[in-house]
Amino acid sequence: MTDAAPAPVPAAPAASDGKTLGVIALVAAFFISLLGIILGFIAKGQSKRAGVKNTPATVAIVLGFIFLAITAIIVGVTVAGAAALFGQCAEYGPGIHELPNGVTLTCG
């Protein structure tokens, strides 16, 4: 009788160094800034645990915050403009109005 050698224990999966996720975060930051920020922080954490530097994740975080601030400014200006327009229409009532500065306001 021969004794069979025990099957080798499979190795644990290697921990991700976060570089791929860092690139994904960088691309996402251009389209959905909040997602880019979140993925960037996750990628930075993975890279920190692996002991490597992750420049794309850092850039994704910075750009994500910049784009988020720009988006907030645009939304704020748009809401303020719409509020001013609705305020003018509430003041003048429905119809077409010629304002003193030469602008035609249509409320309806």
64-90: per-residue pLDDT in tens?
Answer: 999 999 999 999 999 999 999 899 889
Confidence at residue 16, expressed as pLDDT on a 0 to 100 scale: 79
Is 1's pLDDT higher than 60?
no
Phi, psi of 2 (to 5 degrees): -110, 140
Q: What is the mean pLDDT of residues 22-30?
A: 97
Q: What is the mean pLDDT of residues 10-21?
A: 76
> If you ran DSSP here, which 8-state letter would residue 52 be given?
-
Element (H, E) at 67: helix 55-92
Model confidence at 41, in pLDDT bands (50, 70, 90)?
Answer: very high
Tokens found for residue 22: 């860092």
Give the Cα separation of 25 and 58 in Å (integer): 9
Confidence at residue 2, expressed as pLDDT on a 0 to 100 scale: 65
Give the Cα separation of 16 and 48 in Å (integer): 10
Model confidence at 12, in pLDDT bands (50, 70, 90)?
Answer: low
Give the Cα separation of 68 and 27 in Å (integer): 14
* pTM summary value: 0.73
Give the Cα separation of 19 and 44 in Å (integer): 9
> If you ran DSSP here, which 8-state letter would residue 11 be given?
P
Confidence at residue 8, expressed as pLDDT on a 0 to 100 scale: 77
